[in-house]
Amino acid sequence: MDNHAPVEVRDLHKAFGPQTVLNGVSLNVSEGQTVAVLGRSGTGKSVLLKLLAGLQPPDSGSVRIAGEEIIGLDPRPLNEIRKKIGYLFQQAALYDSLTVAQNVAFPLNRHADLAESERKDKVRDLLSSVGMNEGDFEKMPSEISGGMQKRVGLARALALDPEILLLDEPTAGLDPITAAEIGELIADLKKKRGITAVVVTHDIHGAKKFSDRLVLLNQGTIVAQGTFEDLGKVKDEFVTRFLAQE
């Protein structure tokens, strides 16, 4: 594997009781590359993201983020590495009691030494960059649509200028038009910021547009990876059936 890859996973295993979720997954994501991880529900896609962010420990294997091994790392150095990661949770996971702007400001308040005016400017820029209108900044999460919540979650994930972006089902539960807009936003961020990204998604159509590489998980292992065209040449029944959704 490339020693300089921002994300390196080697022989990762994870089980919950008798259920094996990841069974020897190895993956590397090069700088500036967007990799989409696809597969059926329950195949370990979201668990993989949590392992990359150090939110859960694997049973065995290696996870290197920005060149540093995070498995077994003490909380303080692990938290320093986490600052290099922006994470968009599946349901956006916004704080209900905070406004849109306060949600985006939250990581800045905790981890960035900014004057109040600088912080306000940065929050405004972040929300504008994900297509939010200024009239929505002071709204509560319950007052905006699911698509807008995903946009706000993405702005918050970008707040600390991360090197790596982890996106868990960014288009799930959205109508086709909004899902396409979120996909375009991911592609645009990749182009403008050059962020390394791992995107867990069911949306093959969107993944074709915003990712450099598709990785297909089945029963805890990677069964195929490459471009959509590469996957179309794979002689495997599961791969063929999965791609037929498109």
Same structural domain, 99 and 210 = no
Query: Based on the number of CB atoms within 10 Å of its own CB, is 148 exposed (0-12), middle (13-18) or buried (19 or more)?
Result: buried
- Shared domain check, 13 and 36: yes
**Of the residues 111, 145, 179, which one is the last residue of a structural domain?**
145
| Helix axes 146-157 and 100-111, enclosed angle (nearest 10) | 20
Within a domain: 1: no
| 74 shares its domain with 108 | no
Whether 117 and 134 map to the same domain: the answer is: yes
58 and 13 in one domain?
yes
Q: Which residues contact 118 (CB under 8 A, 6 or more apart)?
A: none
CATH number, domain with residue 20: 3.40.50.300
Task: Tell me: do 221 and 115 sit in the same domain.
Answer: no
The pLDDT score that the predictor gives to residue 239 is 86
What pLDDT was estimated at residue 3? Answer: 54
Residue 95: domain span: 91-145
How many domains does the chain divide into? 2
Q: Are residues 50 and 98 part of one domain?
A: no
Name, in order, each residue with C-beta under 8 angstroms of 79's C-beta and a sequence gap of 6 or more: none
**For residue 181, what are the CA distances in angstroms to 93, 178, 204?**
20, 5, 15
| Same domain assignment for residues 34 and 54 | yes
List the pLDDT tens digit at each of the 246 positions of the chain: 445 689 999 999 999 999 999 999 999 999 999 999 998 887 789 999 999 999 999 999 999 999 999 999 999 999 999 999 999 988 778 999 999 999 999 999 988 888 899 999 999 999 999 989 999 999 999 999 989 999 999 999 999 999 999 999 998 888 888 888 888 888 888 888 889 999 999 888 888 888 999 999 998 999 999 988 898 888 888 888 888 765
Determine contact, residues 174/90, Cβ cutoff 8 Å: no
> What local confidence, expressed as pLDDT, does residue 167 receive?
95
My answer on whether 138 and 174 are in the same domain is: no
Whether residue 168 contacts residue 90, with contact meaning beta carbons closer than 8 Å, is answered with yes
For residue 231, what pLDDT is reported?
A: 87
Contact criterion met (CB below 8 Å) for 86 and 164: yes
Query: Which pLDDT belongs to residue 101?
Result: 96
243 forms bridges with which residues in the sheet?
none
C-alpha to C-alpha distance for 58 and 148, rounded to whole angstroms: 33
183 and 78 belong to one structural domain: yes
Residue 110 lies in a domain: yes
